[in-house]
Amino acid sequence: MTAIAPTSVWQRRTAASACLVPLASVYGALLAVRRWVWRRGWRQPWRAPVPVLVVGNVIVGGAGKTPTTATLVQHLRQRGRRPGIVARGYGAPASDARVRLVADDPDPACCGDEPVLLARATGVPVAVGRDRTAAVQRLLQRHPEVDIVVADDGLQHWRLAADAAVVVFDARDVGNGWLLPAGPLREPWPLRRAPAPTVWVLRTEPPTRPPAAHPYPEFAAQRRLAPTAVALDGTRRPLVHWRGAGQAVGALAGIARPTAFFEALRAHGVPLATTLPLADHAPAQTIRAALHAALAAGGPRQWLCTEKDAVKLRPADLPPGVTLWAVPLEVTPSPTWFKALDAWLASAHQTAPRAL
């Protein structure tokens, strides 16, 4: 089984994390140099001919960015906008620098699991590439109808100018408040740069401790498991089925915090016979191997997993007699955030003629 990084060590300032503060200081100095270069104007961001809205976070690990992106895109469509998505495509080959349209090759091994999941969940065009600027250009060339772009996990990609940014936090807030590797922060918080003229904080879970102060408008969101699980063949079953099914059920998760998924299932009353925590973006072959090993050891034949895991598998990938059920994660922001978003859309960002 693939080892999982224990991100819980970043929740408090301990002797172990303090030993890494010198490395964090080096990382912080590199970030400061980067900010200085951009402030001097030696590097300039590229501005798209349509509004760009970034969804990201400042801490390592999943805080609910992808389901937040899906919810945001669905809201934009309901408001009559024609959104498109750009993403990095984690899980795709690191050596592949090409820009891809998910519709051209909807294979998570090529495009990454989250972009394929977003394309299926939203029905909008999704472009994938390490260079978000090139991804936006390709997206707009192929889909000139797109009038707003949502950049999934794009907060640290400074080359693409953003018009608004959503910074997503879960219960961890900023952890111990230190930069990597002594803490979970990708960059200092509050932000020491302006990622966009408008910045919102969205909390998908209440913080477990008083949150770090910041100057941005803050909104709450509800993060929960969907009430229905979906098998790889499309069969649906209420999650409550496993509360008293009388049969052993296992759970696996190849996400940043597998234990969060397992705890959410248990909170719904699902008794888990066994759990398989896998590395974030675990490839299909790793999931298959873990299931085969669990079956050989006498493990259950019914398994619950995240959508990010299920999107990489087909029914034929499973061991004989094993069924895998994906339990979607839903993020529902408060109505006040949707009101702020609608006001932002109406006040300043109408579609402009483009020249690519």
Tokens at residue 74, please?
């669905």
Q: Is 330 exposed, middle or buried (0-12, 13-18, 19+ CB in 10 A)?
A: middle
Does position 146 have pLDDT exceeding 90, yes or no? Answer: yes
Res 98: pLDDT: 85
> Residue 153: left if φ>0, alpha if ψ -120 to 50, beta else—which one?
left
Strand 236-238 and strand 228-231: the pairing is antiparallel
Region 329-348: mean pLDDT is 93
Whether residue 351 has pLDDT greater than 50: no
| Predicted local distance difference test score (pLDDT) of residue 96 | 65
Tell me the per-residue pLDDT of 244-287, one tens digit each, with 9 for 90 and over: 766 789 999 999 899 999 999 999 999 999 999 999 999 999 99
pLDDT at residue 353 above 70?
Answer: no
> Which residues make up each annotated binding site?
59-66
Give this prediction's pTM. Answer: 0.92
DSSP notation for 47-89: PPSS-EEEEE-SBSS-SSHHHHHHHHHHHHHHTT--EEEEE--
pLDDT for 356 equals 38
Give residue 336's pLDDT: 98
Q: State pLDDT tens for residues 306-337.
A: 999 999 999 999 999 999 999 999 999 999 99
Q: Which residues are annotated as a binding site for ATP?
A: 59-66
CB-based burial, 171-209: b 16+ in 10 Å, e otherwise: bbbbbbebbbbbbbbbbbbebeeebbebbbbbbbbeeee
Domains of the chain: which residue ranges?
A: 44-223+332-348, 227-327
Provide the pLDDT for residue 243. 87
Structure token digits, residue 319: 């061991």
pLDDT of residue 2: 38
Contact 53, 166 (CB under 8 A): yes
Sheet holding 164-169, edge to edge: 100-101, 126-128, 83-87, 148-152, 52-56, 164-169, 198-203, 218-225, 329-333
Q: What is the DSSP string of 76-127?
A: HHHTT--EEEEE--BTB-TT----EETTT---HHHH-HHHHHHHHHH-S-EE
- 44-223+332-348 — its CATH code? 3.40.50
